[in-house]
Amino acid sequence: MKIAVVGATGLVGGVMLKVLEERHLDGHEIIAAASPKSVGRRIAFAGRELTVVSVEEAIDSHPDYAIFSAGAAASRQYAPLFAAVGTTVIDNSSAWRKDADKPLVVPEINIDAVRTDDRIIANPNCSTIQMVLALSQLHRRYRIKRLVISTYQSITGTGIKAVRQLQEEEAWHAEQVRQAGHDVASQLDAMPAHNQAYPYQIFRNLFPHGGDFQPDGYTTEEQKLIDETRKILGDSSIMVTATVARVPVVGGHSEAVNVEFHQEYDLDEARRIVAATPGVVLYDDPNANRYPMPIMSEGRDEVFVGRMRRDLSQPRTLNLWVVADNLRKGAATNAIEIMQQLMSR
């Protein structure tokens, strides 16, 4: 088969190529496509090199699958052109997630939502994927009534520009320490301001801002958690409220999730359900300080769950902590797992 990776030179695109190799899909013809400024660049892949081509050239090659991580604008422009030549597109942007005619898929939950004639399939937002996977079987057993979500999202979710901002700020601080001979306090007005991905420094800082602010005061990242959760779990009645924070972490996203069920639950049974959910690892032993952290999720495909405990303030409500590598299961791995499931059909 021919598999095109569109946006191959970006952070997620690079992870997509890595996951393709890890899953022994490098025997297929892999087409690396990107924007005009990257055309001709050579990328190491599975012991050989791929030459980056234009998106138009990738379309002309009629690939069987095109995995997109090139942003919503590029997806809206090019995904229909791939679909028109018979390619199945799996898109990692927000372009198609709200479209009622496009399946939004976490394969362990709802791969059956993909029909044989679907040519554009949406990959959910990274913070949504890890949360709904952790909750999917609990929802089936007890039915979720309401979710209160607080996220602690890695800078890698913003992209390479954010990673460079953090690196520059760290280097600036290290230089100040070297010159002063002791640790110095970070100062918002003194940090380098060029190449900023964020309105504020991220080094030694965090802010409750992910995505763009909407007129109602919520951000687009928070709205994704609301809309996508309902669509993937197939229940528009679930009430969801969310607060997104960006933190100076590279390894993965973390989420504190408060879940109110329609039915009363048994905590031990809930723990067994989570532990048995495909793709989820229950890592939860407070007495041994065992709980999920971004540093342990980096480079792994599993979703880690811990801190499971009853909410003592109201009935039928559970607290849990969810962590995953947002570039892998939150993006690249989920997209490739969708493709593999479709290939197996």
What is the per-residue burial (b if ≥16 Cβ within 10 Å, else e) of 308-321?
A: beeeeeeebbbebb
Rounded Cα gap, residues 101 and 117, in angstroms:
11
Residue 173 annotated among the catalytic residues of the structure: no
Token pair belonging to 162 = 């954010």
Radius of gyration of the CA atoms of the chain, in A: 21
Catalytic residue, from 62, 173, 194, 253: name it.
253
Helix (H), strand (E) at residue 145: strand 144-153
Beta-bridge partner residues of 281: 304
**Could you tell me if 67 and 43 are in contact, meaning their C-beta atoms sit under 8 angstroms apart?**
no
C-alpha span between 269 and 280 (Å, rounded): 15
Alpha carbon 86 to its chain centroid, in Å, reads: 27
- Whether residue 292 contacts residue 282, with contact meaning beta carbons closer than 8 Å, is answered with no
Which residue intervals of 111-212 are DSSP H helices? Answer: 126-142, 160-180
User: Considering 62, 126, 182, 209, which one is annotated as catalytic?
Assistant: 126
What 3-state class would DSSP assign to 229?
Answer: helix
Q: What is the spatial distance between Cα 168 and Cα 115, in angstroms, rounded to a whole number? A: 46
Q: In this structure, which amino acid lies at residue 48?
A: R
> In sequence order, what are the beta bridge partners of 67?
5, 90
Question: Which active-site residues does the annotation give?
Answer: 126, 253
